[in-house]
Amino acid sequence: MSRSNHGTKLAILGFVLIIFLFFIVLLQNQRLERYEHALQGAGQQRPIQDAASVFVSQFPADQYAALKREDRPSFGDVRNAAFYKGSVYLATLGSVVKFDAATGKILAFSNPALLPQPKHVAIQNDTLFVASGFEGAGVFQINLATGHIEAQYNETTGLGNTQNLEVYNDGTYIWVGTFRGVGRIDPKTHYVKFYSTAAELNSPCDWNGVNLHVRGTDVWAQVIAHATCSGAALHYNRTNGAWTQYNTATFAPMKNRIDFTHFIVSDIGVFAHYQIEFPGNITQQIKKFNPETGTWALIGSGTYNDQKSLALLSEKLPPEATYRDTIITQNENDQFTIKVKSDTSWITFPFNAAEISLQSITKNPIADNYLVMTPAGLGIMGPKDVAPHIVVSTRAVTYSTDDDLSFTADKKMLVVYNTYLSEMGGGDALHQFLVYDQTAQTGFGFTLPMGNLEEYQPLAANTLVQNGAKLILSNGHGTFEIDLTTKTVKLLK
């Protein structure tokens, strides 16, 4: 074989090797892109290590009107809160809202594009941990001094499941309850220990969906019973890192599953409230755990045949303030009362989620602000405002988009219009109106019943004309005359 032929073969071999390495690198990049794309969904993007702060302290007027609806702050689903140095961090699934604990004033909220669907929060030292409700995102570790994301825990970094997440602080670790197991995060090293299998948890079940309970350094996992799982309560031993199992033999002998009505880990003890079904009757029992002996003692029992015994049984459970650090109540108008445990006392303040859940944002044509529709009514938000100031408080317009807002020619009067059906395909049908006078800074909302929902015929554009004390609104549903004096409306055609 000549040297030239040998050299040619080596060149070809080298070329093939280069092509092979190229495809290997390409495959790895495609895998990374697929992973990042999986975390993006619904307008979300994967947070970047050491990027800008996840918290927004003022309304970015030049950016927010262009945001997609799913990326705007939303606060409708309030979950829990944590106290830190005079501030309260509230998880609302739309954003983490930061409040001044003394005044209840909103100081900042998290950017949904960087921190998707914050479902549950915990604070350890100077670090905020946020469990995301967005599948695949996992748990975020955030430096509260800078607002930067320091770490993200999900399937790629050791957290074996990212569904139904909740986070708890025991002073050393951050514990994560998931749809299939328990995660233990070391915030200093970022190491994640994940307990999932029957052997790892010392559980009677192969599939371990858990409700996690942590109070101080006491850690319990309540395994939820299902078709192939009898259920159990598991207690973590801090000395050896093992779990102790309490199953049907402890709570419901001769039964094949245990369903807990309440499992409570409190300042005054651990309580298990459950029911056992017998032919002709159902019995409820409460047992309390003895940490010295590792056994459970029956402290109360009642039956459905004796309602008085059931009423007395509930008195055996500990007060809510002994096992929760956040107590949230909600009324029929979506107004919340938030009660959060601080270092020394309980802090209580109102939170009207409807007022700051932004449905639509429109640049005001005659003022340096934005007109914002919320479930609570029409709000005005200036360039440096954190939240809108409600100027027309009404629930008459239940939903709106930017296209529903119409101005008169001088832009001083505006009307927000929408239609409402009480039930899909039937029920009451309503025209809905919100009127606002930008000069007088007053307005009102009202509805007009429909006999039948007319066929919608879109016009080239909605029109609004003022004729003295009356407004004429024309749109795809008809022409309406709004009387500003009597605050009434009639359909002209």
- pLDDT single digits (tens) 298-307: 999 888 777 7
The rounded distance, in Å, linking the Cα atoms of 113 and 246 is: 42
Question: Is the model's pLDDT at 446 over the cut of 90?
Answer: no
Average pLDDT over residues 309-334: 87
Please give the span between the terminal C-alpha atoms of the chain, in angstroms, as a whole number: 96
pLDDT score for 399: 58
Confidence of residue 87 (pLDDT cuts 50, 70, 90): very high
Once rounded to an integer, what is the mean pLDDT over residues 63-79? 64
pLDDT in the model for residue 419: 77
Residue 35 in this model has a pLDDT that exceeds 60: no
Q: What is the pLDDT of residues 166-197, one digit of tens each?
A: 999 999 999 999 999 999 999 999 999 999 99
According to DSSP, the residues that pair with 85 across neighbouring strands are none
71 or 200, which is more confident: 200
- In terms of pLDDT, which residue wins out, 26 or 375? 375
pLDDT: is 334 or 370 the higher one?
Answer: 370
pLDDT of residue 72: 61
The residue among 256 and 212 whose pLDDT is bigger is 212
Angle CA 78–80–84, to nearest 5: 125
**pLDDT attached to residue 93:** 82
* Position 28 pLDDT exceeds 50: no
**Weakest mean pLDDT among 51-55, 129-133, 264-268:** 51-55
pLDDT of residue 44: 31
Q: What is the pLDDT of residue 312?
A: 86
Q: Categorize the per-residue pLDDT at 3 as very low, low, confident or very high, splitting at 50, 70 and 90.
A: very low
274-283: average pLDDT: 81
Output the CA–CA distances (angstroms, integers) from residue 433 to 33, 168, 332, 360, 426, in the order listed. 46, 45, 22, 15, 21
pLDDT tens per residue, range 92-126: 888 898 988 888 888 888 888 888 899 999 999 99
Which band of pLDDT confidence, cut at 50, 70 and 90, is reported for residue 382?
A: confident
* CB 230, CB 256: distance < 8 Å: yes
Residue 29 has pLDDT above 50, yes or no: no
> Residue 358 pLDDT > 80, yes or no?
no
pLDDT number for residue 421: 64
Choice between 50 and 365, residue whose per-residue pLDDT is larger:
365
Q: CB neighbours (10 Å) of residue 472?
A: 15
Q: Write out the H or E segment, with its range, that includes residue 123.
A: strand 118-124
Using the structure block, give the residue that is written with the tokens 């409402």. 420
Contacts of 460 (CB under 8 A, 6+ apart): none
In degrees and rounded to multiples of 5, residue 362 shows phi and psi of -130, 130
Structure tokens at 87: 């501030």
What integer pLDDT is reported at residue 49 of this predicted model? Answer: 39
Of 56, 80, 147, which Cα lies nearest the Cα of 387?
56
Q: In whole angstroms, what is the distance from residue 56 CA to residue 30 CA?
A: 33
pLDDT for 248 equals: 94
Residues 221-254: b if buried by 16+ CB within 10 A, e if exposed: bbbbbeeebbbbbbbbeeeeeebebbbbebbbee
Beta-bridged to residue 303, according to DSSP, are 283, 306
**pLDDT score of 383:** 77
- For the segment 204-229, the average pLDDT, to the nearest whole number, is 93
For residue 42, what pLDDT is reported? 28
pTM for the full model? 0.76
User: Is the pLDDT assigned to residue 2 strictly greater than 60?
Assistant: no
Query: How far is Cα 116 from Cα 122, in angstroms, rounded to an integer?
Result: 16
70 has pLDDT over 50: yes
Q: pLDDT tens for residues 383-441? A: 777 778 889 988 666 655 555 789 999 999 999 988 776 555 455 677 888 999 999 99
Confidence of residue 34 (pLDDT cuts 50, 70, 90): very low
